Structure 1
Amino acid sequence: MMIDMKPLELSKRGACPEVYSFGNDFSDHMFSQNYTQGAGWANAEITPYHALTLDPSAAVFHYGQEIFEGLKAYRTADGSINLFRPMENFKRFNRSAKRMVMPEVDLEFHLQALKALLSIDHPWVPEQAGASLYIRPTMIATGKKLGLGASDAYTHFIITGPAGSYFKGGFQPVSVYIADQYRRAVVGGVGEAKTGGNYAASLYVSEEVAKQGYSQVLWLDAVNGKYVEEVGAMNICFVYENKRIVTPALSGSILPGITRDSILKLAPALGFEVSEERLDIQEILADIKSGKITEAFGCGTAAVISPVGKLCWKGTDYVINNNESGKISKQLYDELTGIQYGTREDRFGWIEKVEI
């Protein structure tokens, strides 16, 4: 399928403002295409960024058929642009679509569409150290439907916007509150899909613990309320005795993170042991208290690696590594960001170049 780029004016160097706010400032253009049952995908085009017009009965409003992804474009020292493992995001996009009874998007076409968009809006990729262009592919159900059931029409679009360095005050640890009453997702549900409802389900606890000074919420399994799953916007990892990295095994209610998978592949090449296990929160807390756990960190697209300085369980704080960032967390962060920005060897072939 061809992409209609219409008579578009290329974004000019300097179009990215010097001051911007992640999630509030967006690039000049967007990609979109529409799907109708029986006809498939059509009307693929890149247009100026604009508002969407939807019928009040659109299924996305009433039954939550919606999925999205998050990835970034990185400006390298020579001015070129890197994408980090974009196909993995697009594969996950399709897995989410299948779970939410939505049409899949051809992987190669998805990448082609993104590259075409970036070829126009490449001046929006920031040049500041640690900054990047955040990319949000999304699909929503647009069919006019109040009866319960899958929609017969969908819109798929990609928007982008500049994102500054995640760590404003340096590579500092965050504090995490363990949810002991509320649950986010259950095995057999949609926890492993990147759909908006999962995040909506987390907001109540996230807002409440933020008032107490905690940055994130660590969710436990919904059946037993004892096994570690993930932190709100990230997967979670624990370092044992400065050599072994352990993360919760994917259970069907945990989002399979691209950064998580990258760490599982990269860490052994750096000399660390890795394992995916079912982690009992009481054992984790005991191992923090005894000193067996020497570091903990979250991992995801936004922060890449975010060190965790303390966990709170029912009013008691369990401090990790004296509430300081650890050397293994920093080593992984430096290695991954080095690959993304082109300053370190891409030993796994993870980088996709964008022609500009």
Structure 2
Amino acid sequence: MTLWNGVLPFYPQPRHAAGFCVPLLIVILVFLALAASFLLILPGIRGHSRWFWLVRVLLSLFIGAEIVAVHFSAEWFVGTVNTSTSYKAFSAERIRAHVGLRVGLAGVNITLTGTPVHQLNETIDYNEQFTWRLHEDFAAEYAGALEKGLPDPLLYLAEKFTPSSPCGLYYQYHLAGHYASATLWVAFCFWLLSNVLLSMPAPLYGGLALLATGAFALFAVFAFASVSSVRLCPLRLGAAALTAHYGAAFWVTLATGILCLLLGGAVVSLHYAQPSALRAFLDQSLKDSSSQGREGSPLVLKNPLHKQSGLPDLKITTHL
């Protein structure tokens, strides 16, 4: 028991907070690089088309970045509390700390920050991630946390999400995360398809693809909300209770789904009401006029020898 000079044997060294989520950072940097690349070539677009392309590309990149980024975000269901709680097992010492619980599609993130950070001759600043992806074992990660001797508040909250917990939170949020993630990837595929179709003379199908993108994004939100609406087990840390609510990722995904429905509905409506205005916004007016003719427009074939021969010009009416 004195191996670590008075420190309990399960705590050989101070813990340190985990870094920023690397996959989320990569997604943000990739889409920012795409946006920066477009802004560099934007001055080369002439006329009012420049602003139309600016709105189109930035809106499209925002939608795509949001659909991908929320997969790696832990801000779907969040809760925080300031409390006085026990710190280590087999010890009566207590600390003042800020405890945070963040539930994402892939797992649970739990934070513990001392107020102040330096207490009991230690730096109390923890950020632990427990995942339930298909190739991850949540119970094994929790067992590893026990072996490392993480503080009591972290272990208490992580234990509530283990498969063996009577609360049943693991199966609820595990399934909700999988269904929401699957529908979001389908939404991402429809987002790619909408970009391709809107760049072709097929705005109607591009608008329908946008509608499908918004629909699947909303399906993901409803799948997660249907499970998280079930009341959590009482989570008490010391004398305080931790209450959770929907986080930023949930609301941003909901807003993105509604935005896609509005944009898709606008494209479909303009296709039937004002197709010329839609082609102008999509910068397809010149392309359409050069490749397609209006229905019933006469095509005149001039005779180069009409002055000598006296033959009239030949007129052909096209029906496309």
* TM-score w.r.t. length of structure 2: 0.25
Higher strand fraction: Structure 1 or Structure 2? 1
Higher helix fraction: Structure 1 or Structure 2? 2
- Greater relative contact order, per chain length (Cα 8 Å cut-off, separation 6+): 1
* TM-score w.r.t. length of structure 1: 0.23
